[in-house]
Each structure stands twice: as C-alpha cells, then as structure tokens.
Amino acid sequence: MRFYDHIINESAPGALQTVPAVTNVPSAEYPRVYADGRVTFRVHLPQAHAVQLEGGQGLCEKPVPLTKDSEGNWSVTMAPRVMGFHYYWFNVDGVRMNDPGSETFFGYNQETSGIEIPDAQQISSDLVTFPVVPFYAPHEGPHGQLEEKWYFSKITGHWRRCFVYTPPGYDDAAHARDRYPVLYLQHGAGENETGWGRQGGVSFIMDNAILGNSSSFFAFMRGGVPKAKPMIVVMDNGYATYANPSSEHRDPSDQYAFPGTEAFGAVMVQELIPMIDSSYRTLADRDHRAMAGLSMGGMQTMAIALTHLDLFSHIGTFSGAQFMRWRPRPGIPERPPFDPHTSYGGVFADAAGFNSKVHLLWMGAGTAELAMSESTRENVAKLRSAGIKVKEYHSPGTAHEWQTWRLCLNKFAPLLFQA
C-alpha cells in the first residue's frame, strides 16, 4: 500500500478527478477513487452471469450489483458511507473472488481484497494549504520501526509471530539507555497479527501521535495535538490453543475466551510478555504496560487485563466492550449481562481500589455500529454508576471497521502512561 502521495501530488483542489486507489497492485487502473469520495470498482469477467460487490460495514452493508459492458467488464460507482480502509470482494455467480487489482489483507479468516478510500476533504479541500496527510499516513520527519518477531511457544507447541513497533529514536545512540512503556494491541476475529501493521496503519498513527504531527487546520489553530509518550507497541496473533488441553499453563482469562483463542492469555502472560521484556528496552512493570484491542481483541483485553491487574494498568477496548455482555463461550452457560459488582470475578466491586490501580479504562466505538455503540454506552454508564472511572469515545458515523479503530488508537494513545 502506498500512502496518498500520488493523490496529493496529482490532485488539483476541487477537481473531479479519479486515480487508482493506493491499495491497488502496480499498474491496476481499478478500483479508482474520485476527489469527491466516490469509488469505481471494475473487473473483467466476460463469462460471468452476475457479479456483486460485497464487503464490510461502511462500504456496503448489502451486496451491490455490478453491470456488464460489451467488453465483459463489470463495474459500479458508489459513494461509500465511510472513508478509510474497507475489506471487499466480488461475488461471481455465487463464488467469492478477490479483486485481482487490489492488495489482499487478512480478514474474515482469509486473504481479502482491501481498498483505502481517502477522505474527500483531504483530497479536495481548497481551504487548507497544509499538506493534507491523514494521521494514519506517513509524515515527513522521524519514524519508528515495525518489525516481525518469531518465538517458539511451548504452550501452543508452535512457532508464533508478533509485530513490534518501536518509537522514533529507539535505535539512536542518544536513547540507548532509555526504557519504554509497552502497549499490547490486538486485532479482531478473523484477522491476525498483520492487521494493525497493514490495514491499521499503526506505525504512522503512533509516529504522528508521538511527534504531535497533524495536518488538521483546526489542530494547528489550537496549537497542535496532544502528544503520546514514546512507547513500544506489540501486536500478536490472538488465536492460540493449548498443545496439551490439561495444561498446567492454563490462565484464568481462558474462561472468557472464544474457541480457538483459549490459550492466548496464557501465551501472553507466560511467554509473550517475558519475551518482549527480555528482547526490548521496556519498563517492565504494570504502571508501564497497557493492553487494548478491537472487537474480539477488546474482549480479550478485558479478559486478560482484568484477570492480571498485577501486569496491566491501562486498558482500552475499541468496539469491543460489548463482548462483556453477550457471546459467551460455547459449553459455558450464557453469562448474565455485564454487572460491575460481579463480572470478571468482581474486579470492579471495590471502585476506589480499582480506580487507584487502573490509571486508564477507555472504551470506544463507532456511532454507526449500533449494537457496539449502544453496549459501550450502557457498560460505561453501569461502570460510572458503580464509581469506576472510565473514558468513552464515539467516532461519528463510522461502523465496525478499521477507520473506527484507527480513530480509537489515535484518541487512546495520547492518554497512556501520562500519570
């Protein structure tokens, strides 16, 4: 994925022009994005009888039919409700097929086409003369690093891979003795450890948050954006099962886990965190360790962090808090609605104690993902009634999709490790 550069270079303010999406593979002319935010999908399938566009929330809530021209090209032009990253695919006579013109991203448990749709304001505004680079794209100046790290997990019996972001300056001699706090940041169901680095744009979000980069005219007028502390961000694969089901490694978080994720808490606490603390210059204590995640990763964050407050002091859920209330693990009786007095072993029951231990409890969602947004509001209200300090954020108009989670991370990161 390239990052907006060619749109910025080539766009004339206000012009209704169209360019290949940044998520296209080289020399693919389609999909194309317009300066007004529309997008044209096109695929050459001369033998097909019916082709539909399908994809995630914010792009197409229901299948969108494409129409065929005399040369066998099927196309549709539409105005997505939400800018940013969207998963999509074509339904070709009943068969799901990726778009050969786009890169793929890991979602829905498989490789899935993705498109990055630029904010219409960002490419067409003629009010602003600053470079219009979103917070999830690279800015000029220093950058952190994103690296993959493999480790052998005895608990699962497999080699596992995580990605680790180190902040700008981490490798500089001037910072060679500095130690950094760590955010553990998880993907959603059907995704994997590549999600935050690719469709999430984690490196650029963190770079810009740490350096206070902003292309917003309003932020500029306000004197800049709040800066995040330099931190390490670790993104692992949330799927993990015990090599030995009667394992002595079992973790208290596993009672809250989806099938296929039972061992993730054990892996994180017993293998991942020690590996990270021995491989990077971390501040290896609870005051400098946070966990957050989106959707399923938010549920995992609640399960793992709340059962290990000796390890975590900052907790965030992005479109994920609602999992506290529903979707119990099969085989375990349906859990009652979230109750701050009893849920998670009663960890919220002593509000004063909780508030003194947990420096940040943060819940975000998009207003267009109704169930998630409502359950977040409801759970936040319950927590506040019980005296728990919790911050909430509702991203206007975004749904259960990466634009919500990018926005959540961008709001959440500057609040971390500020105590």
Residues that bind a second copy (CB under 8 A): 2-3, 5-6, 9, 25-28, 45-48, 92-98, 100-104, 106, 109-111, 138, 140, 143, 145-150, 152, 157-159, 171, 176, 192, 197, 203, 239, 260, 279-280
Mention every residue, 6+ apart, whose C-beta is less than 8 A from residue 162: 148, 149, 151, 193, 234, 235, 236, 237, 272
Q: Provide the minimum distance between the beta carbon of 26 and a second copy in the complex, in angstroms, as a whole number.
A: 6
**CB-nearer residue toward a second copy: 194 or 373:** 194
> d(Cα 274, Cα 304) in Å, to the nearest integer?
15
Q: Provide the minimum distance between the beta carbon of 113 and a second copy in the complex, in angstroms, as a whole number.
A: 8
- 259: cis peptide before it, omega within 30°? no
Cβ(413)–Cβ(391) below 8 Å: no
Closest CA to 305 of 367, 243, 251, 351: 251
Residue type, 113: S
**CB-nearer residue toward a second copy: 3 or 217:** 3
**CB-nearer residue toward a second copy: 85 or 239:** 239
Q: Provide the minimum distance between the beta carbon of 54 and a second copy in the complex, in angstroms, as a whole number.
A: 14
Q: Provide the minimum distance between the beta carbon of 157 and a second copy in the complex, in angstroms, as a whole number.
A: 6
> d(Cα 120, Cα 36) in Å, to the nearest integer?
5
**CB-nearer residue toward a second copy: 244 or 356:** 244
Q: Tell me 180's DSSP state.
A: B
Tokens found for residue 3 = 């990052």
- Residue 186, φ and ψ in degrees, nearest 5: -110, 150
**CB-nearer residue toward a second copy: 173 or 419:** 173
**CB-nearer residue toward a second copy: 140 or 248:** 140
Tokens found for residue 232 = 């390490």
- 31: cis peptide before it, omega within 30°? yes
**CB-nearer residue toward a second copy: 184 or 204:** 204
> d(Cα 126, Cα 136) in Å, to the nearest integer?
21
Closest CA to 225 of 359, 143, 135, 118: 135
* Tally of CB atoms within 10 A around 391: 14
> d(Cα 301, Cα 184) in Å, to the nearest integer?
9
If DSSP codes are grouped into helix, strand and coil, which group holds residue 25?
coil
> d(Cα 204, Cα 167) in Å, to the nearest integer?
10
**CB-nearer residue toward a second copy: 84 or 101:** 101
Q: Provide the minimum distance between the beta carbon of 148 and a second copy in the complex, in angstroms, as a whole number.
A: 5
Q: Provide the minimum distance between the beta carbon of 240 and a second copy in the complex, in angstroms, as a whole number.
A: 11
Q: Provide the minimum distance between the beta carbon of 131 and a second copy in the complex, in angstroms, as a whole number.
A: 11
**CB-nearer residue toward a second copy: 5 or 61:** 5
Tokens found for residue 21 = 């999406």
Q: Provide the minimum distance between the beta carbon of 419 and a second copy in the complex, in angstroms, as a whole number.
A: 29
Q: Provide the minimum distance between the beta carbon of 46 and a second copy in the complex, in angstroms, as a whole number.
A: 8
* Tally of CB atoms within 10 A around 144: 23
